[in-house]
A and B are shown apart, each in its own frame.
Chain A
């Protein structure tokens, strides 16, 4: 023990023993359940699963990847869907949380939160079924409204022009409450005295939001942006349950591509190559966002 106290590093470690102890379970988890599985990424340089005898194939899987038109299509869709997600979904929960915060009574606040949070409890299979029914040209309510307005009914689920919009709208429908909850929780940390002070200074509600609320939740916004980005690049379940052959060209994402070509045909080496590539793209985007946030918002998230 005395030897530990000698060196300055040892001293610091001893001083932080509780902190490090608290970190330990999480760290062990990361090593066992994340980093150990990363060894599996080396499969991308083999023909694992494709033939009985596993052999090293070098960059062949990647060569095949970069030659395939379907792969580039999947890459484009992944990036586009991520972009739409950031532009259309991302601001929504913030807006909702701010508006909920403006509601007068606690009861209506809870009511609204409760309602918009329900869809988050459904799994994607259920949401998929719900949207197919909702958007059906013959019986769905959306097309009934369109018809009543004298418009042509639209087969949203098979229309290449509409399908991505369906993906985004259903994503908003399911996930908006989830995002809003985090913002609402963060909003509770704003010091009410700040608002009072602003009110005395004659600050309107709008300016209070602008100068007090938003700066307070800014770190959360940036965090969510980053997490959202890494999440949407891994998009799988949603597309898997909602897409069909006629909209592959606009909806096939890297993960569904990897699933069809990898798992379903047992060609795991190739499937892993796609996963590795997704990781690299994701790393670039997430690190880029983190860098931007560090330099322009003076907040580094990671």
Chain B
């Protein structure tokens, strides 16, 4: 019996090593495929004008200069940057403040009218009235040309709400009940027990919200009139496309500047990401407590 087990273990560890090698190779391959185009963007953004003229696909750097970045930095970029940070920062905060309690409430099976609420909410997943009715609504609320018009309508995403709700449903109800015994109400139970246990998913959803606020373009153009309140995405895209005007006005914008615009547009999110990322995996383990 012992011998058989031992043999099994050996065979398994052999297969296991093979799998590990395969795994490393496969993931490396995926990473390489993901990185190549990004690498090209990076190399191009750091190249001199003459090396990118006429559209070439650079993978090996031919020159190294921050000229393109400086150009974008000095183009009124900072104004849009602060607007974007305002919208994304406040927006994410408001969104989380609405999403988390709402998701928690919906995750409680005892909630009165839960089925009806869920049906009402699910319906918004499939029906989208389009931008016009939203424009009229924003206008009625007096929010045209106000940065809050980019925050409030997007302060909740049915998508993220359902993700949060489903995650919280996987937390056994006994945890909440045990909090009651300690004299907590539902709100305290959420803050003291459920939120700490949901850190990985909350970190993920925070990031989703931030990125969605950060990258929003169409609505920013539609709801904002004064260009000093434009967000970064609007200004960056304008910088790329302006030279495409039918009359050939303005300077030709070479690929290096375009790519620098792309990199700068996502840089803030990239900087935040590592801080958020550590929470994806290091959340409190549910297994620590028995049901």
Interface residues in chain A, defined as those with a beta carbon under 8 Å from any beta carbon in chain B: 9, 12-13, 16, 18-23, 25-27, 29-30, 32-41, 43, 96, 99-100, 102-104, 106, 109-110, 112-123, 125-126, 129-131, 133-134, 136, 139-141, 144, 173, 176-178, 181-182, 184-186, 188-194, 202, 204-206, 219-220, 223, 227, 230-231, 233-234, 258, 262-263, 268, 271-272, 275-276, 278-279, 282-283, 286, 290, 301-302
- Further contacts, 16 of them, CB under 8 A, given A16-B186, A110-B278, A182-B204: A9-B112, A16-B111, A18-B185, A23-B101, A25-B97, A26-B99, A35-B124, A96-B30, A102-B23, A120-B211, A121-B211, A121-B273, A206-B19, A227-B125, A263-B131, A271-B132
Q: B57 and A133: CB pair below 8 A? A: yes
B207 contacts which chain A residues (CB < 8 A)?
181
A103 contacts which chain B residues (CB < 8 A)?
23-24, 27
Task: Tell me the bound Cα distance from A210 to B88 in angstroms.
Answer: 40
Stretch among B62-70, B152-160, B243-251 lining the A interface: B152-160
- When A26-B99, A29-B155, A282-B126 are in contact, do A185 and B265 touch as well, CB less than 8 Å? no
Interface of A is mostly: helix
Task: Tell me the bound Cα distance from A262 to B33 in angstroms.
Answer: 38
Task: Tell me the bound Cα distance from A290 to B118 in angstroms.
Answer: 12
Name the contact of B280 in the complex, choosing from A141, A184, A223, A301 (C-beta under 8 A). Answer: A184
Interface of B is mostly: helix
Q: Interface residue count for B (Cβ, 8 Å)?
A: 101
Q: A117 and B273: CB pair below 8 A? A: yes
Kindly identify, within residues 254 to 284 of chain B, every residue whose CB is under 8 Å from any CB belonging to chain A: 258, 262, 265-266, 269-270, 273-274, 277-278, 280-283
Q: A130 and B204: CB pair below 8 A? A: no
A19 contacts which chain B residues (CB < 8 A)?
105, 108, 111, 186
Query: In the assembled complex, how far is the CB of residue A14 from the closest CB belonging to chain B, in whole angstroms?
Result: 11
Task: Tell me the bound Cα distance from A219 to B166 in angstroms.
Answer: 8
Q: B36 and A141: CB pair below 8 A? A: yes
B137 contacts which chain A residues (CB < 8 A)?
32-33, 36-37
Task: Tell me the bound Cα distance from A131 to B34 in angstroms.
Answer: 12
Q: B126 and A283: CB pair below 8 A? A: yes
Would you mind naming 10 contact pairs between A and B with Cβ atoms under 8 Å apart?
A: A22-B101, A22-B187, A40-B136, A96-B30, A103-B23, A126-B266, A139-B57, A141-B57, A176-B34, A227-B159
A202 contacts which chain B residues (CB < 8 A)?
5, 8
Task: Tell me the bound Cα distance from A244 to B97 in angstroms.
Answer: 42
Task: Tell me the bound Cα distance from A13 to B110 in angstroms.
Answer: 11
B59 contacts which chain A residues (CB < 8 A)?
141
- When A27-B117, A30-B121, A286-B122 are in contact, do A118 and B270 touch as well, CB less than 8 Å? yes
B55 contacts which chain A residues (CB < 8 A)?
133, 136, 139
